[in-house]
Amino acid sequence: MTIHLRAVPIAVFPLLGLFGLVPVHARADDRADAFRALQAGLAGDSRAAAVAHALYRDLSEAAPADPALLAYAGAAETIVGRDAPSPTDALKVTLAGLARVDRAVAQLGRAHDAPGPNGMPARLETYLVAATTYLGVPEDVFHRRADAKPLLAKALAHPALARMPPSVRAMFAQLEAQVARVEERPADELAALKRVVALDPTGPDAADAQARIDLLSR
């Protein structure tokens, strides 16, 4: 049994932190170090994945009121699970990471709807991290799609989403397309993919999205 977080394009895990939106309560150097380690981990470097998990865990422990940082720590831990030496270890570590993400979602309150210094409410940021993580682990083992879908729906209905940069809105559209694809809803997948391309036509996801659009449109 192989347990792994989907090797998502950097468009989904981009610039400053997992989703291009810096956890604002952490030191810039720590954030940058965690980001570099995480990107290397996503690319397949198991040592870097372990470093990313440790850094995000420390950042979260230093700012326990920040649900986004806790979600990042959990997401990074699931990547460590991908590289575990045995199926038993992979299951244990990935479940621990998912538990962190679950706690981050449970921690959300009204205060997390206010825009943060980076412009995104902590609720939206946490939803984005959580939904991507839930969808990234194998569904046949962890069965987390049912947890991802309501978070994605809530994020899409959040009034702040319309004020986010197009590249961020494209990330949510990419998640919509992912869910529609695995649920074999080609019309919904096609519509979501078209939004990905329209919102972020030069982003790293755009070429793959367009290729999939072409295939679905035949």
pLDDT tens string 179-188: 999 999 999 9
Would you say residue 44 has pLDDT above 70? yes
pLDDT of residue 7: 35
Q: Which pLDDT belongs to residue 27?
A: 61
pTM for the full predicted model: 0.86
| pLDDT given for residue 38 in this prediction | 80
Per-residue pLDDT band at 191 (split at 50, 70, 90):
very high
pLDDT of residue 204: 80
Evaluate whether 6 touches 136 at the Cβ level (below 8 Å).
yes
Tokens of 91: 């299951």
Nearest residue to 148 via CA among 207, 75, 82: 75
- What would the mean pLDDT of 53-82 be, rounded to a whole number? 93
Sign of CA dihedral 100, 133, 66, 49: positive
d(CA 70, CA 23): 10
Does pLDDT of 6 surpass 60? no
Task: Determine the pLDDT at residue 21.
Answer: 46
pLDDT at 43: 84
Q: Please provide the average confidence, as pLDDT, over all residues in the chain.
A: 86
Q: What number is the average pLDDT over the span 96-102?
A: 97
Q: Are 38 and 10 in contact (CB under 8 A)?
A: no
